[in-house]
Amino acid sequence: MVIIGSDGIGEAIARRQGFGRKLLLADCNAAVLQAAAQRLADAGFVTGTDLLIDGGVIAAMFAGKIRQPGCTSFSRS
């Protein structure tokens, strides 16, 4: 499950819909991204992260120009 925007409502959606699934959190703010990933991992979620340096990455993925944005491997805390 991909959550773009890991603060506020993004984290709430991840908590509500993501248990039992692998979560890929994406955000352009590294501090917010890592904090949300840590809180979710501490709560037992399987998380991975992708720092969106260029907002065009996701658009290019959906346009078929790239197969998958770079991300860290999934881990369980």
Calpha distance 76→50 (Å, rounded): 16
Q: Is the pLDDT of residue 64 over 60?
A: no
Calpha distance 16→29 (Å, rounded): 22
Q: What is the model's pLDDT at position 28?
A: 81
**Mean pLDDT, residues 1-25 taken together:** 90
Q: What are phi and psi of 51, to 5 degrees?
A: -85, 115
| Greater pLDDT, 24 or 62 | 24
